[in-house]
Amino acid sequence: MTKARDLANFLGDNTSLGTINDAYDAGTLVPSSTNPSLIINGDMRISQRQTSSTTSGFVLDRFFVGSQGGTRTRSQEAITSGAPYDLGFRNCLKFTNTVAGGNNTTDYVESYYKIESQDVATSGWNYTSPSSYITVSFWVRSSVAGTYTFWTRCEDANANTYAFTYTLAANTWTKVTHSIPGHSNLVFNNDNGAGLRMQWIPFYGSGHTSSSATINAWSTGSSLPDQSTAWNTTTGATFELTGVKLEEGSEATDFQHTSYAEELAKCQRYYETGRSSSTGYGAAGTGFFGCMVDYKAEKRATATLTQSSQSYFAVDGNAIFLGSVGLSYTLNDTNGFYHCAVHDNVNCKYVFTYTADAEI
Amino acid sequence: MEDNMNITSAQYLANKDGSNYSVKATIDGQEMSVPLDPANRHYAEILKQVEAGTLTIADAE
């Protein structure tokens, strides 16, 4: 039974505020213990760009994946059983060591997530106070038993980092929770820039770590402890992540599941894909296409634009025209763009898809 | 690690009055229109590589 169902059952005929207040006082109506999360796509459902890749970039929305050495496949994978499945998680971000790394000094494998600074600043976390906390929680599984590192950095005062380690048994989903205190050095501007960078690390080579790293405290020195090389050198090793949540307070509360549509809309602040069309007039080489595209969601910043899947059609019914047009966006802001391009055929239609990338 | 983008070309696009409004760039093998917004991660990386002397933005045609 969900809390929403409990509340609905209780309300039934109890519609007066007095009755509800009495129930709260008597402890028969318990408020929800689920805090909102600062993480978007923490359940790894949204992958607008692609579902698998071996190069650095985004696979799951909002979670950048990068590596050096070997061939590391990053993919959105289905969860079909286990503790996360029982809690409603159906997808995870998965690293697979398709070709193991060969350099235990320079190799690395990571995923990071950047939260907008204004979202940290307004989260309720009194981040300059050591007695005020944020809490991170996530489900993680690796095929290689060992100790792994979570690392975070304050991007507006980016000498300040914090890390903790956690130990995994092989092939066992584990829920990790950790509360991070505030610190007087921390700065989070009330703007759309990067605020807090959170990082999951299947492997960092010794050239990126230190035997004297500081963990479990904010540090301006190294905070990346040395790691075992086992994951890096094991062909076929896997590392899976889901259920990522970051919340104000010193306790981890239940993951707040939302609808697919709601989560997609949040992701579209940072990236979206869509399509549009326009009709070109005028002589070949001097006539132009032009159309306004309004985004599905306002972007975090002015977006980088790409276009693809272009199709050209002659209006007069002649054979489909395939030609080349210039890439030109004469108006581009956080709400949309005006697409303009010179065409090289007389009177034709133009259909295109676009991507708009405003990731941090 | 930082996200090091592979930028192989960059050229300004200009309005009719000559003012630049975008950079047409090939980043990680894909042609992109990058706005002149320092909060845009691609433009920030272009500026970083220009400052490092590893990238030059060609003038608009």
A25-42 pLDDT, tens digit each = 776 655 557 899 999 999
Partners of A236 in the β-ladder:
none
* Residues with Cβ within 8 Å of residue A313, at least 6 apart in sequence: A320, A321, A348, A349, A350, A351
Decide: residue A286, CB within 10 A, 0-12 exposed, 13-18 middle, 19+ buried: exposed
Distance from CA of A64 to the nearest CA of B (A): 9
Q: Report the range of poorest mean pLDDT among A172-181, A254-263, A276-285, A322-331.
A: A322-331
Output the average pLDDT for chain B: 91
Tell me chain A's radius of gyration from C-alpha atoms: 25
Instruction: Count A/B contacts: CB-CB distance under 8 Å.
Output: 55
Output the average pLDDT for chain A: 88
Q: Is the ipTM of this complex over 0.90?
A: yes
| Reported CATH class of domain A271-357 | mainly beta
Find residues 238-267 of chain A whose CB sits inside 8 Å of chain B: none
Asked if pLDDT for residue B4 goes beyond 60, the answer is: yes
**Which has more confidence, A104 or A308?**
A104
Going B11 to B28 to A307 to A299, the CA torsion angle's sign is negative
Q: Which amino acid is at A98?
A: T
Quick one: pLDDT at residue A278? 77
Cα gap A243→A254, rounded to integer Å: 10
Quick one: pLDDT at residue A269? 98
Going A200 to A202 to A208 to A214, the CA torsion angle's sign is positive
pLDDT band of A6, cuts 50, 70, 90: low
Tell me chain B's radius of gyration from C-alpha atoms: 11
Asked if pLDDT for residue A286 goes beyond 80, the answer is: no
Cα gap A195→A155, rounded to integer Å: 5
Q: Considering CB atoms only, which of B1, B3, B22 is closest to A332? A: B22
Quick one: pLDDT at residue A30? 56
**Which has more confidence, B61 or B6?**
B6
Quick one: pLDDT at residue A29? 59
Looking at residue A318, what DSSP letter applies?
A: -
Asked if pLDDT for residue A11 goes beyond 60, the answer is: no
Tell me what the mean pLDDT of segment A233-259 comes to: 97
Quick one: pLDDT at residue B1? 84
Chain B contact present for A103, CB below 8 A = no
A81-101 pLDDT, tens digit each = 999 999 999 999 999 999 999
Distance from CA of B52 to the nearest CA of A (A): 20
- Residues of chain B contacting A110 with CB distance shorter than 8 Å: 1
Looking at residue A136, what DSSP letter applies?
A: E
- For chain A, give the percent of residues with pLDDT over 70: 82
Quick one: pLDDT at residue A321? 37
Which tokens is A275 given? 């399509």
**Which has more confidence, A341 or A188?**
A188
Contact B32 A306 (CB under 8 A): yes
Cα gap A292→A153, rounded to integer Å: 39
Q: Where are the domains of chain A?
A: 1-32, 52-267, 271-357
A321-331 pLDDT, tens digit each = 333 344 556 67
**Of A274, A280, A273, A272, which is closest to residue A324 (Cα–Cα)?**
A280
Cα gap A113→A196, rounded to integer Å: 8
Find residues 7-46 of chain B whose CB sits inside 8 Å of chain A: 13, 15, 21-22, 24, 28, 30-35, 37, 39-43
**Which has more confidence, A313 or B48?**
B48
**Of A97, A48, A356, A214, which is closest to residue B35 (Cα–Cα)?**
A356
- Residues of chain B contacting A57 with CB distance shorter than 8 Å: 28
Chain B contact present for A301, CB below 8 A = yes
Range ranked top by mean pLDDT from A251-255, A308-312, B21-25: A251-255
pLDDT band of A53, cuts 50, 70, 90: very high
Q: Which amino acid is at B52?
A: A
Residue of B nearest to A112 (CA): B1
Quick one: pLDDT at residue A40? 98
A148-187 pLDDT, tens digit each = 999 999 999 978 999 999 999 999 999 999 999 999 999 9
Asked if pLDDT for residue A146 goes beyond 90, the answer is: yes
The CATH superfamily label for domain A52-267 reads: Galactose-binding domain-like (2.60.120.260)
